[in-house]
């Protein structure tokens, strides 16, 4: 479903957005026996949850068995925050192999919440804003926000974590994500408390996220709202749901024409929800797919990238002030618009 109408003035007041979490395919859980053990490091009889696999498995899969309802990124954070021990040794990687009979222990936040050693030799990120509470970086296209189960060693999180350590000996904790192909504003927190506060804002949809996209053609209207629901299939793909059906999840995308080219249009977008591939799917359903979208659109762009950029973020800072951080539209998108 969509709504739209021609307008010579921009009269919108955009104040809400959210991120969504997306399940990944998971391996069958390893055969395990779960126990509770004593944590002597704390100086008292404090019990920490543990698990002992009956067969060799990956650490991330062992943690999934302990926390079947948890998202994989939450489990990875347990590792990067120093909370996971394998036979008493701090775990460093989600795909670390755990031998049969080994004991995997998850420490409390208080015992394990310490920064991991930053990885050397990573490119320095472009920092748009930084203070004692938050860091906002300009993520380049083609770079993952955070490592997957494949264990990539160069991600936006890794670069920001090293920068935070080199510039204040503090942590950098990812608050949300951008797709690999999307560039632009990405928030990280310097403490778990700030992360929790910011993520709560995303849940309440009080964080405003603005994107710019170069699309093929031109919409018939000057502005509109796309509300087609989005469903994730069993093979982990996403698709729009036929109008009238209640399958899938709510997805709301507001858009307006920002600038016109000869064959392309620059669209300003605000999302109320953050479903995977939401903007690409909704623009494609509008008949104006994002340039460079090889999955939902018309193939590669001349600039050899997806022409989608997270250009602004507005959120409530822990100090109580509302703040906005902006990232300039990349020259590659301008070049594609002028084709």
**H helix count then E strand count, the chain:** 7, 20
Cβ–Cβ < 8 Å for 303, 335: yes
- Structural domains in the chain? 32-112 (3.10.290.10), 127-204 (3.30.70.580), 205-337 (3.30.2350.10)
**Which CA distances in Å does 210 have to 15, 137, 166, 174, 268?**
10, 15, 30, 19, 7
Considering only CA atoms, which of 214, 313, 227 is closest in space to residue 267?
Answer: 214
Those residues with Cβ within 8 angstroms of residue 256's Cβ, 6 or more apart along the chain or in another chain: 10, 12, 222, 223, 224, 267, 268
Q: Which two tokens stand for residue 308?
A: 């989608």
Measure the CA–CA gap between 317 and 332, rounded to whole angstroms: 31
pLDDT in tens, the chain (339 residues): 666 554 434 434 343 333 344 344 444 555 544 433 333 333 433 446 788 888 899 999 999 988 888 888 889 888 887 788 887 777 888 899 998 888 898 886 644 444 555 667 788 999 999 999 999 999 999 999 987 756 677 899 989 999 999 998 888 989 999 999 999 999 999 998 999 999 999 999 999 999 999 999 999 999 999 999 999 887 778 889 877 777 889 999 999 999 999 999 999 999 999 998 999 999 999 999 999 999 988 888 899 999 999 999 999 999 999 999 999 999 999 999 998
pTM of the prediction?
A: 0.70
Considering only CA atoms, which of 181, 176, 221 is closest in space to residue 73?
Answer: 176
């Amino acid at each position: 479903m969509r709504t739209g109408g021609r307008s010579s003035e921009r009269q919108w007041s955009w104040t809400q957005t959210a991120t969504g979490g997306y399940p990944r395919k998971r391996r069958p859980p390893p055969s395990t026996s779960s126990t509770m053990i004593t944590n002597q490091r704390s100086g008292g009889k404090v019990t920490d949850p543990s698990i002992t696999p009956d067969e060799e498995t990956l650490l991330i899969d062992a943690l999934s068995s302990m926390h079947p309802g948890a998202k994989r990124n939450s489990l990875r954070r347990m590792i990067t925050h120093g909370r996971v021990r394998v036979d008493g040794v701090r775990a460093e990687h989600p795909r670390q192999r755990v031998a049969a009979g080994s004991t995997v222990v998850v420490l409390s936040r208080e015992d394990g919440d310490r920064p991991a050693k930053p990885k050397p030799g990573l490119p320095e990120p472009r920092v748009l804003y930084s203070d004692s509470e938050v860091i906002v970086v300009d993520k380049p296209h083609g770079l993952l926000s955070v490592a997957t189960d494949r264990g990539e060693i160069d991600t936006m999180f890794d670069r920001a974590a090293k920068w935070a350590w080199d510039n204040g000996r503090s942590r950098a904790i990812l608050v949300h994500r951008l797709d690999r192909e999307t560039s632009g504003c990405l928030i990280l927190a310097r403490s778990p408390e700030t992360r929790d506060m910011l993520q709560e804002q995303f849940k309440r949809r009080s964080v405003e996220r603005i994107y710019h996209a170069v699309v093929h053609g031109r919409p018939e209207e000057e502005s509109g709202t796309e509300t087609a629901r989005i469903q994730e299939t069993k093979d982990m793909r996403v698709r729009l749901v036929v109008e009238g059906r209640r399958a899938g999840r709510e997805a709301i995308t507001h858009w307006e024409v920002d600038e016109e080219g000869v064959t392309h249009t620059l669209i300003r977008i605000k999302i109320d929800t953050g479903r995977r591939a939401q903007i690409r799917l909704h623009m494609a359903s509008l008949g104006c797919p994002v340039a460079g979208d090889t999955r939902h659109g018309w193939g590669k762009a001349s600039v050899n990238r997806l022409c989608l950029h997270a250009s602004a973020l507005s959120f409530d800072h822990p100090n109580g002030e509302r703040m906005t951080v902006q990232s300039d539209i990349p020259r590659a998108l301008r070049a594609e618009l002028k084709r």
